[in-house]
């Protein structure tokens, strides 16, 4: 005789948004959001957008390597950077310029990294944070390891790790997610769903309705936020961090946004995305949405806007000049940043390169 097993599933993934695409807002905003925070967030988002445009121009003129634009990600990444405590650890992927800068990474350091200079990963102001991760999803395993160490030490710290929607299809992501849940790690996993994993659309990557519901399999909270709404992302990251500090374990946040530019400067997104889709995304993107809300609230004016854009341009110009005037590192530096002790297999290559470039061994 066949028997049945009664299972109870908690399968409710809430979608959260406060600033609406029409520039209005649901009232009241979360208690974690102040007018000062909104202004600071907008200023940083505008700075990073101007920096991003300059970085693309540097690549187009042969002064920077392949570069991944962060247009469309400013709201999510600014929210993460402002919500984190300085003692936390940030484990980024390769489109997190806004968060990196808020953590203390100079814009010139970001340019050095994408210019092929390993000194761009040797952060002066936040040495506990990890460098950019270009391999897909491996950073989630690193983050789980760091969060495990934080728990063992008993410090009131947390780790925040980011990745794109495509990274959630990788085993590294699922393994880290499962471990974080099983060990109740102080880890916040933020999936920045920008709809496209290079040329693969989100719908072709996963049949699940949301990516956040992957949290259910790990037994941890999963939430969906409007990634173009700074307030929603900030509030949810703040709550997830507080949860981690109290020893209540990890949280998975799916922030839905849109990649407004190409995947990288080596990509041509017009070959696989409809023009109308991109045009619609520009109408609701995070920088303009927050700007319009601030103007409605009379917290920002056109005069302040013009003044701030001049300040941003001057700031970026100084950082670019610093990057361009930095003497190149020695060729063997690419070995020296990889290992504490160089493995025997690389030693011959290192010595050959040093001799050919006449470096002192």
Task: Indicate which residue of 95, 263, 273, 289 is catalytic.
Answer: 263
Residue 188 bridge partners (DSSP): 160, 251
Residue 191 bridge partners (DSSP): 163, 254
Element (H, E) at 151: helix 138-153
Which has the closest alpha carbon to 123: 154, 90, 93?
Answer: 90
| b/e map 141-165, b = 16+ CB within 10 Å | bbbbbbbbebbeeeeebbbbbbbbb
Strand locations in 43-158, DSSP E? 89-91
DSSP string over 5-16: ----------EE
Does the annotation mark 142 as catalytic? no
The first and second tokens of residue 76, run together, are 């999510």
Does the annotation mark 275 as catalytic? no
Are the C-beta atoms of residues 316 and 52 closer than 8 Å to each other? no
φ, ψ for residue 67, nearest 5 deg: -130, 135
Does the annotation mark 344 as catalytic? no
φ, ψ for residue 126, nearest 5 deg: -145, 65
HSE-up of 179 (CA within 13 Å, CB side)? 16
φ, ψ for residue 297, nearest 5 deg: -80, 0
Task: Indicate which residue of 46, 49, 259, 289 is catalytic.
Answer: 259
Which residues have CB under 8 Å from 116's CB, separation 6+? 65
Q: Which pairs count as long-range contacts for 335-339, CB under 8 Å and 24+ apart, including other chains?
A: 337/118, 337/121, 337/122
The first and second tokens of residue 36, run together, are 């000062």
Alpha-carbon gap, residue 339 to 187, rounded angstroms: 27
**Cα end-to-end distance, the chain, whole Å:** 78
Alpha-carbon gap, residue 285 to 211, rounded angstroms: 21
Annotated catalytic sites, by residue? 259, 263, 272
């Amino acid at each position: 005789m066949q028997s049945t097993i009664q299972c109870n599933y908690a399968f409710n993934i809430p979608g959260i948004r406060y600033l609406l695409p029409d520039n209005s807002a649901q009232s009241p905003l979360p208690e974690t959001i102040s007018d000062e925070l909104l202004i600071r967030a907008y200023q940083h988002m505008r700075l990073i957008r101007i920096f991003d445009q300059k970085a693309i121009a540097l690549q187009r003129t042969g002064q920077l390597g392949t570069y991944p634009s962060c247009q469309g990600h400013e709201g999510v990444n600014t929210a993460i950077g402002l919500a984190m405590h300085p003692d936390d650890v940030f484990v980024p992927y390769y489109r997190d310029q806004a968060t990196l800068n808020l953590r203390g990474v100079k814009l010139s350091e970001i340019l050095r990294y994408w210019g092929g200079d390993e000194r761009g990963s040797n952060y002066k102001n936040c040495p506990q944070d990890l460098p950019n991760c270009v391999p897909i999803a491996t950073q989630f395993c690193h983050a789980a390891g760091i969060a495990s160490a934080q728990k063992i030490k008993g410090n009131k710290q947390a780790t925040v790790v980011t990745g794109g929607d495509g990274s959630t299809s990788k085993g590294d992501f699922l393994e880290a997610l499962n471990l974080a849940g099983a060990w109740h790690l102080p880890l916040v996993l933020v999936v920045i769903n920008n709809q496209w994993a290079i040329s693969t659309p989100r719908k072709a990557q996963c049949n699940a309705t949301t990516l956040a519901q992957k949290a259910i399999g790990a037994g941890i909270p999963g939430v969906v936020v409007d990634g173009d709404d700074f307030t929603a992302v900030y509030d949810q990251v703040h709550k997830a961090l507080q949860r981690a500090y109290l020893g209540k374990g990890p949280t998975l946040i799916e922030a839905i946004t849109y990649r407004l530019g190409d995947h990288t400067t080596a990509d041509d997104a017009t070959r696989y995305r409809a023009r109308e889709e991109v045009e619609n995304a520009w109408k609701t993107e995070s920088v303009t949405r927050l700007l319009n809300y601030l103007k409605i609230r009379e917290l920002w004016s056109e005069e302040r806007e013009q003044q701030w854009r001049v300040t941003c341009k001057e700031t970026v110009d100084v950082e670019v000049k610093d990057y361009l005037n930095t003497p190149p590192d020695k060729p063997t530096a690419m070995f020296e940043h990889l290992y504490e002790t160089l493995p025997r297999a690389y030693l011959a290559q290192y010595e050959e390169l040093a001799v050919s470039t006449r470096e002192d061994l």
